[in-house]
């Protein structure tokens, strides 16, 4: 990476010298992500997760009474600590330094802190992940996290929207009346980014999610988004873990399916992908935005929060398509998509090259087709 910013007080925490990251493997990323800021956001969040992981392990003590069904999470914390780079300052000081540099990372740190507070009770089997992460007393936690004002979350939305545009351009003869379906649309931040990227080319946009509260937020956001004005918008509750025959969606009527940070949490990823494939019109496009594991078994920082949730951990495993719970590695995504009948699978950026250049890289978009 060239054009490095002047050294800041947090530079000593990073796993890599930004000036040494080659740009070429990231050439397919949009310009706003080919920046030092993109890497700093990832590194700062990772350093904070390491500090909080250290705190959880210290609080539990060496002979922690961990509930049997939570032992894999306890092992994850040990593995994360084993791969943690430099010793970070304590979390309180680190939080201060990070916010001094990037105040917009506040919602990401708040979510990590909420998880941290709940970890001891969770590990002992006294609390569920959803009681920790969906505390009615903190309703803004997710709204501020699933937001394009949160640079950590926005990067995935920008990348997925960019990959969608690249794939549509590749198709030639650009269609200007796209019918879009989004699954796991949450609070609508990925929809905001896609609408901004494909302005003027969308006819209809159906947003679906399992959570009525999130969908309500999405509707509020899109109602005030000027670019969404001319688009016919519908909102529908949809549980991707239910058989696709119950989804109440007509087959072959969608040009683009958008799914940002959701498919890694479905129980049977190949079955869900297969169901989505049946909804696509001939030549239709599937666009996934995902945290992708740089290598099998390698912990990634978003797991600190998301592995508290049952649906993240309790999934159908398969040695080829789903070798471990939570986030998939690139080879497993490819195998899952192929088994579900997709072809023309493309990773943006080229994931193998990106990880070779920056071993902590874990953000990807995947596009694929079903004829």
Ligand X SMILES: C[S@@+](CC[C@H](N)C(=O)[O-])C[C@H]1O[C@@H](n2cnc3c(N)ncnc32)[C@H](O)[C@@H]1O
Contact footprint for ligand X (CB under 6 A): 146, 183-190, 209-211, 214, 238-241, 260-262, 265-266, 311
Quote the CA–CA distance of 87 and 134 in Å, as a whole number.
31
Question: What phi and psi, each to the nearest 5 degrees, are found at residue 283?
Answer: 80, 5
Instruction: Give the shortest CB-142-to-ligand X separation in angstroms.
Output: 8
Instruction: Give the shortest CB-217-to-ligand X separation in angstroms.
Output: 8
**Which pair of tokens denotes residue 293?**
């594991």
Q: Which is nearer to ligand X, 88 or 189 (CB)?
A: 189
Quote the CA–CA distance of 204 and 197 in Å, as a whole number.
15
Instruction: Give the shortest CB-148-to-ligand X separation in angstroms.
Output: 8
Asked if 185 contacts 216 with a C-beta cutoff of 8 angstroms, the reply is: no
Instruction: Give the shortest CB-35-to-ligand X separation in angstroms.
Output: 21
Instruction: Give the shortest CB-268-to-ligand X separation in angstroms.
Output: 11
**Cα 31–chain centre separation:** 20
Tokens 């609390």 locate to: 127
- Give the residue ranges of DSSP H helices in the chain: 36-60, 71-83, 91-101, 106-123, 129-133, 140-145, 151-171, 189-197, 212-223, 269-279, 303-306, 310-313, 330-339, 351-357
Instruction: Give the shortest CB-124-to-ligand X separation in angstroms.
Output: 26
Instruction: Give the shortest CB-316-to-ligand X separation in angstroms.
Output: 13
Q: Which is nearer to ligand X, 80 or 264 (CB)?
A: 264
Q: Which is nearer to ligand X, 26 or 312 (CB)?
A: 312
Q: Which is nearer to ligand X, 122 or 327 (CB)?
A: 327
Q: Which is nearer to ligand X, 124 or 216 (CB)?
A: 216
Which single residue brings its beta carbon nearest to ligand X? Answer: 186
Closest to 102 (Cα-Cα) out of 189, 39, 15 = 39
- Give the residue ranges of DSSP H helices in 307-345: 310-313, 330-339
Q: Which is nearer to ligand X, 209 or 303 (CB)?
A: 209
Q: Which is nearer to ligand X, 236 or 339 (CB)?
A: 236
Q: Is the dihedral of CA 326, 86, 98, 197 positive or negative?
A: negative
Q: Is the dihedral of CA 171, 238, 240, 325 positive or negative?
A: positive
């Amino acid at each position: 990476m060239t054009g490095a910013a002047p050294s800041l007080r947090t530079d000593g925490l990073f796993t890599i010298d930004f000036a040494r990251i080659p740009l070429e493997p990231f050439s397919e990323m949009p310009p706003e992500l080919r920046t030092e800021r993109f890497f700093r956001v990832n590194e700062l969040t990772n350093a904070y997760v390491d500090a909080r992981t250290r705190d959880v392990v210290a609080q539990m003590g060496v002979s922690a009474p961990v509930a049997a069904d939570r032992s894999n999470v306890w092992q994850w914390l040990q593995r994360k600590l084993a791969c943690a780079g430099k010793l970070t300052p304590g979390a309180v000081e680190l939080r201060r330094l990070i916010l001094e540099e990037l105040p917009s990372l506040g919602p990401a740190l708040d979510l990590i802190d909420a998880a941290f507070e709940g970890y001891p009770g969770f590990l002992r089997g006294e609390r569920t992940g959803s009681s920790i992460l969906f505390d009615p007393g903190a309703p803004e936690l997710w709204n501020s996290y699933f937001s394009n004002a949160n640079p950590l979350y926005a990067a995935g939305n920008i990348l997925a929207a960019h990959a969608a545009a690249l794939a549509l351009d590749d198709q030639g003869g650009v269609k200007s009346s796209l019918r879009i379906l989004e699954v796991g649309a949450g609070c609508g931040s990925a929809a905001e980014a896609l609408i901004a990227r494909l302005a003027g080319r969308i006819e209809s946009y159906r947003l679906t999610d399992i959570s009525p509260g999130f969908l309500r937020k999405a509707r509020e956001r899109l109602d005030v988004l000027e670019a969404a004005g001319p688009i016919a918008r519908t909102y529908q509750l949809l549980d991707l873990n239910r058989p696709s025959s119950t989804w109440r969606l007509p087959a072959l009527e969608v040009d683009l399916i958008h799914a940002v940070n959701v498919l890694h949490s479905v129980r049977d990823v190949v079955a869900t992908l297969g169901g989505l494939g049946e909804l696509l019109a001939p030549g239709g496009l599937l666009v996934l935005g995902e945290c992708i594991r740089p290598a099998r078994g390698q912990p990634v920082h978003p797991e600190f929060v998301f592995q508290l949730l049952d649906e993240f951990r309790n999934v159908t495993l398969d040695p080829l398509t789903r070798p471990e719970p939570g986030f998939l590695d690139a080879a497993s995504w490819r195998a899952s998509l192929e088994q579900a009948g997709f072809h023309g699978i493309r990773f943006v950026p080229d994931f193998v090259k990106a990880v070779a250049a920056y071993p902590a890289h874990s953000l990807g978009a995947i596009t694929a087709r079903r004829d």
